[in-house]
């Protein structure tokens, strides 16, 4: 990130409202409109091509929703082996297109290259009124913290690769990953959220730390309050670990304060990387209960997981 910041200094580009350290780049066009731009792609996380494409699309669009914006236009990004059956490519692209259509947006092209390992995702453009832009930087002391989706996709997908997972647990994880963050973003905006981000590769610990750093507050989270996918605790107890979890723990662990009673099993979940994870929102305490109720009515496994206080960093209590 440092070369970008040194080459393109934000103070030299007043229309750049967000980028580099935000969920997506934001460029103001006029007083009423800002463009939100992001991209994301990754190798298959499930065996079914349509489902893989749909999950990748939902994940890519999530960063736009994490800025309080609406997705309007997408482009495919793909890499596939030369000898892959065309029907598989069709199913992947169809899955992505179906999810984009569900979001009320459209795909208008893209680019595909030959690659030894399949990869698929989207370049995503959204629109937002500059005054209604949400970032990681607005959390205030006293705010309640809500997580909209359950954690554990990394653990469950890893267990699935090892053929050591229950079918219903995989399906629950797939259902969660397919669920768009669009409606959750609308609810957060209507509730007057002060800060918003989505929980993906850095896990709940890493993305909470980003909010804490950018907002200049400390986030105090309760492990017992974290919503977990069915089977996630079971696989954590069995010793399943996603490689990214170890990287997260190594890189982020020194800046995350864990209660002494939190052992190895909770840490596997705290640092577990998520695919198409939920929105983490900071909002006034007096609207937290009603917001969770609305999110649950919309199909999200939402919960109040902690609060913001004066200070710095992230702490986890039992």
Express as a percent the part of the chain with pLDDT over 70: 95
Of the candidates 54, 45, 51, the residue with the CA atom closest to the CA atom of residue 98: 54
| CATH number for 306 | 3.90.650.10
Of the candidates 121, 167, 163, 157, the residue with the CA atom closest to the CA atom of residue 274: 157
pLDDT digits (tens, 9 = 90+) for 110-123: 999 999 999 999 99
Q: Is the pLDDT of residue 7 over 90?
A: no
Query: How many other C-beta atoms lie within 10 A of the C-beta of residue 127?
Result: 16
Q: How many domains does the chain have?
A: 2
Indicate the pTM of the whole model: 0.94
Instruction: Show the DSSP H helices in 8-130 as ranges.
Output: 49-65, 86-102
Cβ contacts of 103 within 8 Å, gap of 6 or more:
61, 71, 180, 182
**What is the arithmetic mean of pLDDT over 163-190?**
96
- 221 and 254 part of one domain: yes
Q: Is the pLDDT of residue 5 over 90?
A: no
Say if CB 155 and CB 81 are below 8 A apart: no
- 197 and 296 part of one domain: yes
How many alpha carbons fall within 13 Å on the CB side of residue 131? Answer: 2
What span, in angstroms and rounded, lies between the C-alpha atoms of 236 and 266? Answer: 8
Q: Domain of residue 273: give its range.
A: 144-317
- 124 and 209 part of one domain: no
Per-residue pLDDT band at 318 (split at 50, 70, 90): very high
Per-residue pLDDT band at 2 (split at 50, 70, 90): low
Q: Is residue 253 part of a domain?
A: yes
End of a domain among 132, 167, 201? 132
**What is the arithmetic mean of pLDDT over 16-44?**
89
pLDDT digits (tens, 9 = 90+) for 126-158: 999 999 999 999 999 999 999 999 999 999 999
- 107 and 227 part of one domain: no
Q: Please, what's the b/e burial string for 268-301 (b: 16 or more CB within 10 A of its CB; e: otherwise)?
A: bbbbbbbbbbbbbbbbeeebbeebbebbeeeebb
């Amino acid at each position: 990130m440092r070369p970008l910041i040194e080459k393109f200094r934000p103070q030299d580009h007043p229309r750049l409202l967000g980028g580099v350290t935000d969920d997506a780049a934001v460029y103001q066009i006029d007083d009423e409109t800002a463009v939100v731009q992001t991209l994301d792609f990754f190798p298959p996380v499930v065996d079914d091509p349509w489902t893989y494409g749909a999950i990748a699309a939902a994940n890519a669009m999530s960063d736009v929703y994490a800025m309080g914006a609406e997705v309007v236009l997408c482009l495919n990004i793909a890499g596939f082996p030369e000898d892959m059956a065309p029907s598989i490519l069709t199913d992947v692209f169809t899955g992505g297109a179906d999810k984009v259509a569900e979001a009320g947006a459209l795909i208008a092209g893209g680019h595909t290259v030959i690659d030894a390992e399949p990869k698929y995702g989207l370049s995503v453009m959204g629109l937002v009124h500059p005054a209604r832009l949400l970032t990681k930087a607005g959390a205030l002391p006293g705010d309640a913290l809500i997580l909209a989706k359950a954690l554990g996709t990394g653990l469950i997908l890893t267990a699935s690769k090892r053929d050591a997972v229950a079918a219903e647990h995989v399906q629950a994880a797939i259902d969660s990953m397919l669920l768009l963050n669009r409606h959750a973003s609308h609810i957060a905006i209507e509730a007057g959220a002060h800060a918003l981000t989505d929980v993906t590769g850095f896990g709940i610990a890493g993305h909470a730390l980003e909010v804490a750093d950018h907002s200049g507050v400390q986030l105090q989270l309760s492990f017992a309050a974290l919503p977990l996918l069915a089977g996630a605790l079971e696989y954590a107890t069995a010793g399943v670990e996603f490689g990214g979890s170890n990287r997260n723990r190594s890189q982020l662990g020194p800046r995350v304060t864990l209660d002494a009673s939190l052992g190895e099993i909770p840490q596997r979940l705290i640092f577990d990387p998520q695919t198409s994870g939920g929105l983490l929102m900071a909002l006034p305490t007096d609207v937290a209960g009603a917001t969770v109720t609305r999110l649950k009515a919309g199909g999200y496994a939402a919960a109040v997981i902690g609060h913001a206080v004066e200070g710095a960093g992230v702490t986890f209590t039992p």
